[in-house]
Amino acid sequence: SEGNNVQVKWRETNLSLSFSVPLNLTGSKWVKGLSPSVGVDQKFLWMDKNAGYEFKEDRLTSPVYQLYAYNQHKMSVRDLYPKWGQTVNLIYRHTPWSDSVSSQFALIGYLYFPGFVNHQGIKIYGGYQKTITGNYSYSDLVAVPRGYVNLDFPEYFSLRSDYAFPIAYPDWNVPSAFYLKRIYAKVFYDYLKGYTRGKTTDLSSMGAEAYTDWNFLSIMVNVKLGGRVSYRISDTKWQYEFLFGFSAD
């Protein structure tokens, strides 16, 4: 009945093929570009044998269309964000050959502004997503407020704002063991407006994140370790998370 949730487990394998035409328009102070792309995902689904359910279709083909554009001021080594910048990402995907068609449209954008002090920065994230669920359920492309999980809105608008600032550049180095490059933090406020069967839901959160940037074992991979504390304003609950990431130079 309505209001009851049933959890089921399944396995999913996706095979993807895409074609893009990246256009680099970078100038002396600005990094600019435009990248249209088209692709197709082939999805294979296996329901857990103990679930008591079966997929109406266990193989689906999903074309994907995307247009990505960016315009950002070039960053210095110590900048956390570009001083000025804009990015837009437009995505549409669907299952046109399914017995019951699914589709998803997402529009995602970023705005960057300078902070009050050099190397600090402001990032504004905005996203809109609308999903029609037929025989396949797409995962979300648009981020939700930090501190919330397992949200399910057929249509929603999301706003996330960050103010980032460096704390220290300790340059702690133990040769061939580790190098601590930077410590920095963010404060944030997030908001979401979701729409379900004519009902509107408002969710918001605020909090802080702290990060450390490392290199280990003389490997040229940047490792990011940190933590996040989120206060869910909508239901007055606290959430704590460990954060981990890496990137290659």
- In the chain, the DSSP E strands lie at 10-20, 23-24, 30-47, 59-73, 85-94, 103-114, 121-132, 155-168, 172-174, 178-196, 199-216, 221-232, 237-248
For residue 118, CA distances in Å to 5, 35, 78, 142, 167 come to: 49, 31, 9, 30, 12
Distance of CA 157 to the CA centre of its chain: 14
CA torsion through residues 54, 56, 57, 63, sign: negative
Q: What is the average per-residue pLDDT within 1-25? A: 82
List C-alpha distances in Å: 176 to 128, 172, 218, 223. 46, 12, 5, 15
d(CA 65, CA 42): 14
Percent of the chain, pLDDT > 90?
79
* CA–CA gap between residue 141 and residue 65 (Å, rounded): 13
pLDDT in tens, 127-141: 999 999 999 999 999
Q: Decide: 57 and 135 in contact? Cβ < 8 Å.
A: yes
Most confident of 45-49, 64-68, 222-226: 64-68
Write the DSSP symbol of residue 118.
T
Three-state DSSP at 142 gives: coil
Is residue 4's pLDDT more than 70?
A: no
Q: Is the pLDDT of residue 37 over 50?
A: yes
* Mean pLDDT for the stretch of residues 31-44: 97
Task: Tell me the pLDDT tens digit for each residue of 135-164.
Answer: 999 999 999 999 999 999 999 999 999 999
How far apart (Å, rounded) are the C-alpha atoms in residues 38 and 21?
9
Cα 47 from Cα 53, distance rounded (Å): 7
Angle (CA) 240-245-247 rounded to 5° is 160
* Residue the block writes with tokens 């802080």: 208
Average pLDDT over residues 49-64: 88
Nearest to 43 by CA among 62, 28, 24: 62
End-to-end CA distance of the chain: 52
Q: What is the mean pLDDT of the chain?
A: 93
Q: How far apart are CA 43 and CA 60, in angstroms?
A: 5
Residue ranges covered by each domain of the chain: 1-142, 164-249
Place of tokens 């300078």: 114
Q: What is the pLDDT of residues 91-128, one digit of tens each?
A: 999 999 999 999 999 999 999 999 999 999 999 999 99
